[in-house]
Amino acid sequence: MKPMLEVTDLAVSYGDGGRTTTVLDGLSLTVGTDEVLCLLGPSGCGKSTLLRCLAGLRRPDRGEVRLRGEVVDGVPEGLAVVFQDYGRSLMPWASVARNVDFGLSRALDRAERRARTDEALAAVGLADVARQRPGRLSGGMQQRVAIARALAARPTLLLMDEPFASVDALTRADLEDLLLRVRRDYGVTVLLVTHDIDESVYLGDRVVVLSPRPARLVADLAVDLPRERDQIATRGSDAFVRLRTLAAEHLRAT
C-alpha cells in the first residue's frame, strides 16, 4: 500500500532584506494510511512551514509533496487543518453549527451539510451547544469546534499545528483522548506538530524528531504502545518512559 503522504527532499528558504534564511533543507518523510505521526522539534525549527507546504499553502523551493500519490500543487481535496489559535480560526458572530458548516463544500445540499454538522458536533461532544456562539464556550470547547469543522469535511488527512498548546493541562488531556477516538472512529490519517515530548509519544504511532533550523530529520521512532491508551496507565508504563526518554535524547542531541 502506498503511503498517504510522501515528502521528498523538501527545501524552503525565506529572503529578508537581501539575507536568505533556510528553514527546511532536504527533508523527506512518509505518513502511512490510518497513522498518527507526531512531528517533534524545537521552537522555530520549521514545523509550521512544513505544514504550510503539506497543505499546499507554500510552494517549496525544492522537492515535492504527494498526497495519495498525487503531487500537491495548491490546496488538495481530502485535507483539513486544525491550528493552535482556535479563537482566530472561528467566526465569533456565527453559531457553533454555522462555524462547522462553513468548511463544507457548497456542492453538498442543505440536508447533507446539516447531517455532517450534527454528526461532527456529536463526535466531539458538543451536540448541545450547536446554537451558541464560540465566545460563550471555554477554550477547550472552542478547539473542539475547530476539530468538528475539520471532521465534517471527512478528510483523509488531518494536519494539526500544536492544536492543544493553548489550553490547560486537564483540557489538553481530554483533547488528546478526543483525537485518539477520532482516529479510531473516522480512520483519518493525522500529522500532528508539537514541541511536547510526552504528547508526541502518547498520541503517535511514530515520532519524527527534527533538528533546529534548517529542519532535517534526526530520528524516526516507532511507538510500540497499544493503540488504546490511557492518560495514567500509558504514561506510567515502562515502555512509555523508555520512548519519551529516547525522544528527549534525540531532541537534546540536536
pLDDT at 36: 95
Residue 75 cell numbers, joined: 490546496
Query: Contact 221/206 with Cβ under 8 angstroms?
Result: yes
Cα–chain-centroid distance for residue 37? Answer: 9
pLDDT at 165: 82
**Three-state secondary structure call for residue 12:** strand
pLDDT at 118: 92
User: For residue 109, which amino acid is it?
Assistant: D
Block means of pLDDT (10 residues each) for the chain, length 254 residues? 87 80 89 93 84 90 91 87 78 91 80 91 91 89 89 90 85 90 90 93 95 88 94 96 95 81
Between helix 110-123 and helix 169-186 the angle, nearest 10°, is 130
Pairing type for strands 36-40 and 206-210 reads: parallel
Residue 235 cell numbers, joined: 504514561
Question: Measured in Å, how far apart are the chain's first and last C-alpha atoms?
Answer: 33
pLDDT at 121: 92
249: nearest Cα among 213, 201, 204, 203: 201
Residue 27 has phi, psi (to 5 degrees) of: -85, 130
Q: Is the pTM of this model over 0.75?
A: yes
pLDDT at 83: 80
Dihedral sign from CA coordinates of 122, 126, 128, 132: negative
Contacts of 36 (CB under 8 A, 6+ apart): 179, 180, 183, 189, 190, 192, 203, 204, 205, 206
* CATH 3.40.50.300 domain span(s) along the chain: 5-78+155-253
d(CA 241, CA 23): 31
d(CA 111, CA 96): 17
pLDDT at 86: 67
**Three-state secondary structure call for residue 168:** coil
Given this structure, which CATH class describes domain 5-78+155-253?
alpha beta
pLDDT at 216: 86
